[in-house]
């Protein structure tokens, strides 16, 4: 194969061809033209850097840009110390940390920590919101039992799978019934001048929960998407409605 003159490199150059293209784009003067190949190489390198796994997690977790944002999780176990005390001990394999998908609740907690304010939701409310997300995701992707008809026998696997799916569906239906048909933001209760926009639409409790738990949207994003202005009073109203709906999902009745 005839070598491409663009791929030639000097002996003192290091890194792969993709690395050199990315470096070319980084070193280009601002406003100057950058070759499309170099710009694409820089984009790929940035995506790879964003998906890099921290050293605390060890080498066994493969980086994946499609994974999206994640947070580190310490596997902590409470062990008894003496007769009346316990100690939190990190029990991760080899002292490593795990990763977990980042969601809207992580963003809310981080924003509250930056403002040095208390957490807007309790651990129980966050746990039920994440359980709601996991149930919807599982049932959406678990609609077909993939098995070979040639190798299938009259065993109980199909019944066990169906029983499990029916149980998860019943749990999800119970959550949605407890959410109810209430309204988080009612257009009629707020003057047009206070809404900040003439296109504001009603935000139901179910819509709010689906936006936060399933789509990963923050409260400001929910307001903007439904035509409301983003201000403190509207944020507080949505936050209170979200907290109350999550409590109902747990089983609390206000």
Q: Pick the range with the lowest mean pLDDT from 105-119, 181-195, 224-238.
A: 181-195
Cα–chain-centroid distance for residue 31?
Answer: 35
Are the C-beta atoms of residues 71 and 106 closer than 8 Å to each other?
A: yes
% of the chain beyond a pLDDT of 90: 34
163-217: pLDDT as tens digits:
888 899 999 999 999 998 888 877 655 665 566 656 788 899 999 999 999 999 9
Q: Pick the range with the lowest mean pLDDT from 54-63, 69-78, 81-90, 136-145.
A: 136-145
Residues forming a β-bridge with 183: 204
SS3 81: strand
Model-level pTM greater than 0.85? no
Q: Give the residue carrying structure tokens 């129980």.
A: 124
- Cα–Cα distance, 198 to 191 (Å, whole number): 10
Work out the angle at residue 102's Cα, subtended by the Cα atoms of residues 54 and 204, and round it to the nearest 5 degrees. Answer: 175
**Helix/strand/coil percentages in the chain, nearest 5:** 50, 10, 40
Kindly tell me if the per-residue pLDDT of 2 is higher than 50. no
| Residue/partner pairs of 193-198 with CB below 8 Å, 24 or more apart | 194/233, 195/227, 195/228, 195/229, 196/228, 196/229, 196/231, 197/227, 197/228, 197/229, 198/227
Residue 118 confidence (pLDDT): 93
């Amino acid at each position: 194969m005839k070598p491409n003159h663009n791929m030639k490199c000097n002996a003192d150059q290091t890194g792969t061809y993709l690395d050199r293209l990315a470096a070319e784009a980084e070193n280009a003067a601002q406003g100057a033209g950058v070759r499309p190949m170099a710009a694409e190489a820089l984009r790929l390198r940035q995506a790879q850097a964003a998906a890099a796994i921290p050293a605390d997690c060890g080498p066994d977790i493969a980086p994946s840009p499609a994974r999206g944002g994640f947070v580190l999780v310490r596997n902590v176990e409470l062990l008894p110390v003496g007769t009346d005390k316990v100690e939190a001990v990190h029990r991760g394999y080899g002292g490593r940390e795990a990763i977990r998908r980042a969601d809207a609740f992580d963003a809310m907690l981080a924003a509250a920590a930056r403002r040095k304010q208390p957490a807007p939701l309790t651990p129980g409310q966050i746990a039920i919101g994440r359980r709601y997300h996991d149930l919807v995701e599982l049932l959406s992707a678990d609609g077909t039992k993939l098995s070979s008809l040639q190798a299938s026998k009259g065993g109980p696997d199909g019944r066990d799978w169906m029983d499990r799916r029916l149980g998860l569906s019943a749990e999800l239906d119970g959550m949605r019934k407890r959410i109810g048909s209430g309204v988080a933001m009612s257009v009629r209760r707020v003057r047009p001048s206070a809404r900040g926009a003439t296109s504001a639409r009603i935000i139901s409790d179910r819509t709010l929960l689906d936006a936060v738990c399933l789509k990963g949207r923050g409260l400001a994003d929910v307001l903007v998407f439904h035509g409301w202005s983003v201000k403190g009073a509207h944020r507080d109203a949505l936050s209170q409605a979200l907290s109350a709906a999550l409590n109902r999902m747990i089983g609390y009745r206000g």
